[in-house]
Structure 1
């Protein structure tokens, strides 16, 4: 039994060593909001010719969760991932109960600060809500919108449902704290096929959430309506979900795909955090989508 914690610690140390290649950076927007982010920097001269790839994490994660995508895709294009407002060193949004537009405004300010006029935008889970809101408001800046296991939000639900979903998650955060939340919730993030490295990485990221930022993101989830934003965006959209995702199951993602007028891609042997546990499959999906986003489109 004593060997289990040491194995987990060794895995965490190994993952942190890989992450060290993509150190945390900070940008300050015109609205004086700090945004923490990580970037793959290799072969910049080659990457400058390709559309930047921007990755948005989910409610229990952070920029570090995309390390495998940095490693695989950073040689061919600029790859960036933020810590959402209220996560890491990123400044929280102002409203205690924010809307998706509040996060989308910060995203626009961050991209402006980095000089990124147009990108391929990928959102996972809650990150899909932010990505969808940004794309609906700024369609000219999104060459392609790829949503992985998107959370649809509860904005279209009854007040009782919205408040119950919100309050249950907030109560769990208050009771367990970030570390306890990671121990309790991380198992649900992956499928039975995930190896211990993937499980350790999910726990590592979730244990580092900032309670205030997580609480605001919980309100965002209650307030958001991704389907409505997708119906307003007429650019290129793809949606993928793990076949064994129990958090945003394929049936829920199918409804979002209908709203976006696209088909749903189902990834076998993958759960909610598919890009962590089945990195090769998801990286291939992202890479293929980036190439499609760069191709001329007929209207």
Structure 2
């Protein structure tokens, strides 16, 4: 499957995951993390479902666009010769109900009507296609991927895909004859070249850098990992074992997402690891995996 833009965790999800391991989240951020995790779980489920399509079927995930100073995101976009198929993915579970235009959760709490989001995105997508002279039709579908989701409504919604309908939709998509052409290439290039960095549009998450735990932190449980041997680290809390290279790589990735304005230097990473990994080992790793920049007495890596 040629995922022209693969599905990856969002910047906010990656940031909150690291903050959860290295600090205590506020109740608001903890709830936000759970929401993002559930959303990503749903998008991952839909990606796995789309893997059943023909290997020729081109798919773009999490395309963030801006048109007329308004941003919108497409969870998944299938590009076919005569039509685009955009998906908004929801991972709701339980019995939901629609009364007129209002949606209610299993606890009878009113929630945002996801069809209004679809209507908004349809308008913006149409404007995007018009601006870039892409004369192609599109469908915008709201797909519910959780197997235990149920929607009670008296009126049929043509653009809503419920879990039992997913297999039939995939069979229909698989019947489309995918033929690549110059126009197809133009469409794909337009979406990829105008995709925006999610980090610049994300909700700002406040955190105090002084409260962050340094050292080699376990990805599974947040416990401090200790050196078990020259080449391995061990977590006594959950018994996880990883190589020294993987431990260092995880620590550097945490540093980069938590301190985006800081330069990656040997000294900075040594301090961030709490001295658990030697300066010489850090320098060798950085020289092998990263590009050296700077000059004189100041060098950094990226």
Give me the TM-score of the superposition, normalised by structure 2: 0.23
Larger Rg: 2
Give me the TM-score of the superposition, normalised by structure 1: 0.23
Higher helix share: 1
Higher strand share: 2
